[in-house]
Structure 1
Amino acid sequence: MMQFALFDYIPKRNLRRASFEQQDISRMILGFKDGRNVYTRWAAHEVCRAIRLMDLTDTVLVCIPASTIYSHVRRWKRFAQLVCRLSGMQNGFDRVQVSGSRKRAHVTGEYELCTNIKHYVHIDNDFFRGKKVLVIDDIYTTGQSSRAFIGAMQAAGADVQMALFLAKTKLFCRSR
């Protein structure tokens, strides 16, 4: 399975060390995470630009769940609709249901999605069985959440072809 990130993401605590372009990308990614329409359209167009040469007509788009139902819908519903309309993929948004909420891993350092995925996410096994899937998430930091979700999708019978991330966290080392 191929994994790919479109941009580098600089955490807020390191933004002063980042270039203007990196600061701008990080601002847009945070706007996307907040569910702002202008950044949702930006993210959808960037994803479609990255996958434009791929034939994805028989592929289902699935977004890795956010920490709460509200955040999941706000962040991913319109995005998934736009990407599917522009790329020809099937929209799997309604086939993955988030129930309850979990701690945000980047805040707490606890990867609850990894340990409690069956209590937090319901995947429509009948729908995904035997289907090609492209999984999308906003930011890749350690990969634990994405690996857990991809494992759950594969356990549901999905053939996960690719994991695409809007950005990968870039960490700066302290200079001595």
Structure 2
Amino acid sequence: MAKTIDIELQKQLDKPQAWFCKYFPARIRNVSEREIADRKLVFDFKDGRAYEEVAQRTAANMTERYGTSCTNIVFSPVPASTDKKNEIRYKAFCQRVCELTGAINGYDHVSVSGERLTIHENRKAEKEVRKVNVIEFDSAFFNGRSVVVFDDVITKGLSYATYANQLESLGANVLGGIFLARTHYKVK
């Protein structure tokens, strides 16, 4: 069973992806002013302060990639960990991206309804218990739709790939992912 899941996740990860900057976690200290500015942009976006800049970049990428077909594409972000964080991070952002591209706003068709416990393995191969969000979908809305998924930061891509699989299980066709930043650990 695990191999099936891995194959399905890899299928999503093989789809087109775009990101706008490198994200170096705060523990990586020998970064340049550019990387510090990018890190600040990520934090500001997560707090709802930088949505216009990120919406402009996202819309430009979508328009370049899909052109006038944007009007037939649903734009849907991977939900944040709580309903409140999800609204702060994505409500105005999604509205703005859709205004700029003509895309269909998927924000109101996915909700974060609660938390449950899950076990994750961390960098040191130790297991830890974390709370994760429970996502509810408007299944009928996504059935038969083409979707572009957005997430703020991609590291391994598991959140994106899992979310994309969930959408496709509802009958959607995920075209690919757009990310504000990709995590890097080594400065070159």
**1:31 aligned onto 2:44:** yes
> 1:40, 1:132 → 2: CA distance?
23
**2:111 paired residue among 97, 104, 113:** 97
- The structural deviation recorded for 1:69 is 0.5
**1:47 aligned onto 2:58:** yes
- The structural deviation recorded for 1:67 is 0.5
Aligned twin of 2:35: 22
Aligned twin of 1:169: 183
Aligned twin of 2:5: none
> 1:31, 1:168 → 2: CA distance?
16
Q: Percent identity?
A: 33
**1:5 paired residue among 8, 19, 30:** 19
> 1:143, 1:112 → 2: CA distance?
18
**1:143 aligned onto 2:154:** no
- The structural deviation recorded for 1:112 is 6.5
> Structure 2: 5+ residue runs without aligned partners?
1-14
> Structure 1: 5+ residue runs without aligned partners?
none
> 2:97, 2:174 → 1: CA distance?
17
The one-letter code of the counterpart of 1:92 is G
Aligned twin of 1:131: 145
Q: Secondary structure in 2 aligned to 1:52?
A: helix
Aligned length: 164
CA RMSD of aligned residues (A): 2.4
Scaled by the length of structure 1, the TM-score of the pair is 0.85
The one-letter code of the counterpart of 1:45 is Q
Aligned twin of 2:94: 80
Higher strand share: 2
Aligned twin of 2:81: 67
Scaled by the length of structure 2, the TM-score of the pair is 0.80
> 2:129, 2:162 → 1: CA distance?
10
